[in-house]
A and B are shown apart, each in its own frame.
Chain A
């Protein structure tokens, strides 16, 4: 034991003190080292999980961007199709009546034997395949409408031979990609043994090849021909919702923040408001979904499954985020700027709008983008307002029914054609993540370029 005198000097053996210090030093260093190790381990575990997640998703999803596609020479044989002649508007026929006959004609065109064309062109490669209808089933069933649309767009095609890319059936894609075990018993496959053999044969001949899956971007969801299921409808739906969030949440949020930060008196009421805004930011998103269903659909009578409702619900969810972040950005502008403006005779609103707000803009923009990115990935509230429906149309206004990207992922993962949609779902996830990362990177760039520090 060493004694410490009143003036702080240590009496007794000096070596013993050095020992104590040295001993504790080892301990302290070890502690420091340990703590760093914990830190590194925590970071490594975090990165490990992220890499694992991205790895599995990329591994599963990337192959789905390429899809088994037939390249066929299709002859639009006039005799085989036997198309009705396009009606001509008669003298004195009203526009509505003409439109009606035009619809009827189009419906008849749809009924023509488009599948027969596909069957004939396939038989060129496998003349011995019997029954031919089973051979035709290798092509996705919705592709007949592609041929129809080609002819509707250009009637002169009838009689000509055109090289067309047609999607293979989902089961063919699953088989060729090896997404289903190749050694199962015959009755465990959806394709018959001869269909599997034909697929392999056509793949070797180069009739079927892996082409970039443009269908993923140009088609809407499909259940009758899963191979052509795409994300266009969902992407448009998400886009509409994001626009609504930006148009509604940003002005309301920014104005509320400006008022609270710059103009509002500091009293109990504004304190209460502030506390509640913070509370609102912590409310689980599903609650906003319930609220949206009650207010926007049942009370305001907005249409079901429409992006307008989804957008408004997401707006409610994003508002607190934007208000809080905008207030923080305003707070970061030094008071000297306001004082200088006021001192030079500016009014309070002039000082805010001419000086404070421009300086806070990068912060506000960043907050908005992050809020929008968060809203883009939100699923739960959308399920409650009926946006999980199967929609085979592309919405042209926010009032038409639509799905959204995250909901589409939810729907696809539950699809019964599991072998095909597992990869498709991962591809959709990759797209969604890519969009989020782009938004976040954009926010980062804005912050880096425009942020000013004092």
Chain B
């Protein structure tokens, strides 16, 4: 019967699929990367150029999932269906190194390849912002010190926070905690802003932490779990809002966004590279040492990433918004990669 043959043929095909699966999973020839969505555009560019430049290697596959998600996947173990590289917009933590070690991932090679700036931007056509960390803290905290006492945040307009700021409703669109950006935002903006108040500086331990990181819940702080396009869409819908973006995203969308100064410094490649602009962070990727030599091109990819033509000044990555390392530092990182120096975590 025709149908029966068709059915048995497809059943056969099914079993072939099922049985060849484990066999062909062995010996993966494509580097697999996952992690930070901030690093993703840079890593994708390098992956593509790498595939073009080396005819003997395939372009690596770059997934996202956030810094935390990527490192979690990275630490799941070794073998063909674990990832080879985790992209991270912060350094790996001690706890993550321990989790890695427990699953047999011991050679975690850290590669720092540049910096990224975090900027505050508002829709074009609205007022210009000149922010200080303490302004942002006062706008975002659930409780702020007024006359020596902690009170529920009374500010509804920026001009109430500081007279120099525009008379505009306070709405802040910030990345949710799945983003590495959030951590930098808290560490480099909110924390210094908070401790500039003597009342908060005087607090101790958990109480201080709570006072600093307790954000207001009255709808003026919007957390975005998605990517920067979502933040931008928020700004388009809520014209008064101020959003937190990566410098590279802002660079690509200057037709819709205007950037705020922080501490009087306008964020740019130069001011961040010189360390004048306060809200920046190093970008990393972590290579699984156990996979070097097994997955073809892994070490070459790391070295290629650190090539001056790729991530040095004037390179495609810098055009895409990366703040490059200086040549000496890059050479140092490259040496550590070649020596497979193992990261300890922080």
Contact = CB atoms under 8 A, between A and B. Distances in A.
Contact of A302 (B43, B81, B254): B81
Contacts of A300: 21-22
A414 interface: yes
Interface in B1-43: 1, 3-4, 7, 10-11, 13-14, 17, 21-22, 24-25, 28, 30, 32-34, 40-41, 43
Contacts of B33: 389
Nearest to B2: A358
Interface stretch (A18-26, A54-62, A397-405): A397-405
Nearest to A171: B252
Contacts of A330: none
A180 B124 CA distance: 14
Contact of B61 (A141, A254, A401): A401
A181 B254 CA distance: 11
Given A390-B44, A392-B48, A302 B25 contact: yes
A280 interface: no
Nearest to A141: B316
Nearest to A106: B55
Nearest to A354: B1
A244 B16 CA distance: 12
A244 B254 contact: no
A264 interface: no
B88 interface: no
A224 interface: yes
Contacts of B49: 224
A400 B58 CA distance: 11
Contacts of A297: 81
A391 interface: yes
A184 B255 contact: yes
A414 B226 contact: yes
A397 B253 CA distance: 38
A102 B40 CA distance: 32
Interface stretch (B166-174, B175-183, B227-235, B284-292): B227-235
Contacts, number: 146
Contacts of A419: 255
A266 interface: no
Contacts of B59: 391-393
B248 interface: yes
A303 B252 contact: no
Nearest to A301: B81
Interface string A96-121: 00001001001100110000000000
B2 to A, nearest CB: 9
B252 A418 contact: yes
Contact of B40 (A190, A358, A390): A390
A416 B1 contact: no
A54 B41 CA distance: 31
Interface string B238-263: 00000000001101111110000000
A141 B314 CA distance: 14
Contact of B41 (A181, A187, A399, A416): A416
Most buried by B among A141, A222, A414: A414
Nearest to A246: B10
A366 to B, nearest CB: 16
A399 B25 contact: yes
Nearest to A181: B255
Given A145-B52, A300-B21, A389 B63 contact: yes
A248 B61 CA distance: 27
Contact of B253 (A141, A388, A418): A418
A333 B43 CA distance: 58
A358 B28 CA distance: 44
Given A190-B254, A223-B48, A417-B252, A389 B232 contact: no
Contact of A416 (B24, B43, B228): B228
Nearest to A353: B1
Contacts of B61: 305, 389-391, 393, 401
Interface in A356-412: 357-358, 361, 386, 388-393, 397-401
Nearest to B59: A392
Contact of B30 (A247, A361, A386, A401): A401
A224 B45 contact: yes
A106 B54 CA distance: 8
A247 B14 CA distance: 7
B47 A390 contact: yes
Contact of A110 (B1, B44, B55, B251): B55
B295 to A, nearest CB: 12
A414 B58 CA distance: 25
B96 interface: no
B53 A304 contact: no
A195 to B, nearest CB: 13
Contacts of A399: 21, 24-25
B51 interface: yes
A150 to B, nearest CB: 14
Contacts of A180: 255
A414 B227 contact: yes
B56 interface: yes
Contact of A308 (B4, B21, B124, B256): B21
Given A189-B255, A302-B25, A397-B24, A103 B11 contact: no
B341 interface: no
A383 B232 CA distance: 22
Given A106-B55, A353-B4, A390-B44, A416 B253 contact: yes
A393 B41 contact: no
B28 A416 contact: no
Contacts of A110: 52-53, 55
Given A390-B44, A390-B62, A188 B255 contact: yes
A110 B55 CA distance: 9
A92 B64 CA distance: 47
Contacts of A247: 10, 13-14, 17
B186 interface: no
Contacts of B64: 388-389
29 contacts: A107-B53, A189-B254, A189-B255, A190-B254, A222-B48, A223-B48, A224-B48, A224-B316, A247-B13, A247-B14, A251-B7, A252-B14, A297-B81, A301-B25, A304-B63, A308-B17, A353-B3, A389-B61, A390-B44, A393-B58, A399-B24, A400-B30, A401-B30, A414-B226, A416-B253, A418-B229, A418-B232, A418-B252, A418-B256
Interface of B: 1, 3-4, 7, 10-11, 13-14, 17, 21-22, 24-25, 28, 30, 32-34, 40-41, 43-45, 47-49, 51-56, 58-59, 61-64, 79-81, 83, 124, 226-230, 232, 248-249, 251-256, 316
Given A252-B14, A398-B17, 11 more contacts: A181-B255, A224-B48, A251-B7, A302-B21, A302-B81, A303-B28, A358-B3, A389-B34, A392-B47, A415-B229, A417-B252
Interface of A: 100, 103, 106-107, 110-111, 141-142, 145, 180-181, 184, 187-190, 222-224, 244, 246-248, 250-252, 254-255, 297, 300-305, 308, 353-354, 357-358, 361, 386, 388-393, 397-401, 413-419
